[in-house]
A = this chain, B = another copy of it.
């Protein structure tokens, strides 16, 4: 649960292992699982091809380890705050205003990470997994994606007064979620449309402002009586 994708270590073997994991993340992200060859990954890590078999058994297990690392990293981003919110939800100490603020903070954090941070290395792997989930993706979904999605749904349900288990509440949370991750998933589209060579923190801030507005508007639809 550190902010490091893969923890460092003084051991020689562990360092080689870590180097392979980092190189694998990079190459899998850049070129996809199939296009990234084990030789290429080993070269990028300054290792021999055999090292992958030695440390991970085979290519697929290396990939599974990379996904595990991604899961831990993603959880670490929102980890403490998410637990805090879970506590407030459990004790009933989250009112609609607090829930609205929490949503905005979560989305801001996600946006910041996705546009700066090490996330860019993680992004492509995640996107490819959404397009064609591997067996290892199940683990990532169960341990990382679903808990976050459930948390979002429960927070939003505080605002809307819906049952957080109801399909509509889940769909609503997913739609809101979509407003954020579309800037990751369809990153090239928005980058082209804004005609910028690269999305930076200033874009993350502006996107955050727009999404804040939308969150406020949508929430107001529930707290204000319908006209």
A interface vs B, CB < 8 Å?
31-32, 34-35, 124, 127-128, 130-133, 141, 145-146, 149-150, 153, 167-168, 170-172, 174-183, 185-190, 192-194, 206-207, 209-211, 213-214, 216-218, 220-221, 224, 227
Contacts and interface: CB of A to CB of B under 8 A. Distances in A.
A189 B132 contact: no
Contacts of A31: 132
B214 A193 contact: no
Contacts of A207: 171, 175
A76 to B, nearest CB: 20
Given A178-B182, A189-B149, A210 B131 contact: no
Contacts of A132: 31-32, 124, 128
B130 A186 contact: yes
Contact of A186 (B170, B179, B181, B194): B181
Most buried by B among A124, A192, A218: A218
19 contacts: A32-B34, A32-B131, A127-B130, A130-B131, A130-B186, A131-B131, A133-B188, A146-B193, A150-B193, A168-B206, A171-B207, A174-B183, A174-B189, A176-B179, A177-B182, A178-B185, A178-B186, A181-B182, A181-B185
A179 B206 CA distance: 18
Contacts of A189: 130, 141, 145-146, 149, 174
A48 to B, nearest CB: 25
Nearest to A190: B174
A127 B131 CA distance: 5
A216 B227 CA distance: 12
7 closest Cβ pairs, A-B complex: A178-B182, A217-B221, A127-B131, A175-B179, A178-B178, A34-B34, A217-B218
